[in-house]
Structure 1
């Protein structure tokens, strides 16, 4: 899956998917029960999709999971293909959270834009086991981002091999119930202008400020030339336990964050890391993390 790239699904004539970008559900017996308008979602990294806009601007799409996201109904490849051939896939919606765009820096030091998309773990697994479903899902994601942010994305995308996500994955507050992105006044009152394959859970949390960078040092062995191994020592005096830390090691990047946003370390290294051989330890007494 990490090496998959290209255009898996091309069945959108005159914007079939674009015509189906938001669909509101019917009422249920629980409609009169008071509900909290939002709930908190902590994205868990899955994989990162790389593409670009029609203006040649680099774009990364972080595909993430969270257990609170609903799982769409099960569907076979044959059933999905029949819906697409009939140009009517409105009966199959994908609950997902399309996060706000955030500016990032790629490993070359150039500016780029990242988007976070959150789906249920069960649906994530299903896309891993079906090329047809994966292609359909990613097509819907690209269409959704294009519509929501009024841009055009290149379909010649690829999935990064050694990076699960680009940028940070902050906690999000999402609506308990989905609602249309665009509302329009008409003779019959306010009506949604657009149905959808995406049952979107709107992200309402503003981007949180970047946390302070902790004091750290990196020692290489041997000291000169290409190192055989690196040791990073990170000072975390305000952290009490390792469970509050999130560590992601990419092919040339170290990203360390704290759940309470006390620290954030996001650095790129001039060497490629062997991720399978990397490890980390946290000393509760000295409040130091070794990588």
Structure 2
């Protein structure tokens, strides 16, 4: 079945969506993106995603194509056009087509390229949310502004490929002995005392929307947590590890660098927090889940 995508003011079949070879997103990765989860045909935590989109654009002096409220209207129409019940809406804004390859930013007369498409995928009942994932550690070679959600994702792709070649599902990124995050998600550990630990916000990590929601839920449910850096050694010896993102919610990590985490199954705290988050997500989207 052909998807309908949104591109520069038009809803078109995916095979008919065309972007110039001179688009700066293609030539320079001069673009930002967001991914919002969809449950029961409704966007989840979308206001926070759009606020982060605005921050990313502002950080790069990249013009928004329209008001944030208008973007949400377009997202909802795209969901309806594709009859999407569960999955995600991907959104990308590049600086546009400057007519030729040139490092200098184009003038104000160049309009941003604005693309959106949907992806159907299981969020609540994804198998990996139950079986967990195996991870390896790799050096974090990304640029120094990881708080900006840009499309320059070659380093995370290399990290994932390294993981797959080493019989793992994903990678934890390490810088100066400390875990920054996973290749496309935030990273958490649970220590021997049952305290949730995740790295504090800075330019070293993406300011995860799901991460923030989980911290709020932990506070509301009297779960102990700390925002602090943690080492690879701490992670390898943790009681539990999990990752969080808009489209995984929470996935448990059952091994790291070949070493079982806990008993090699989803931990008690990971399961509890995922259950709390899913209940919140289902209620927020007015449904009963998958």
TM range (shorter): under 0.3
* TM-score, scaled relative to structure 2: 0.24
Higher helix share: 2
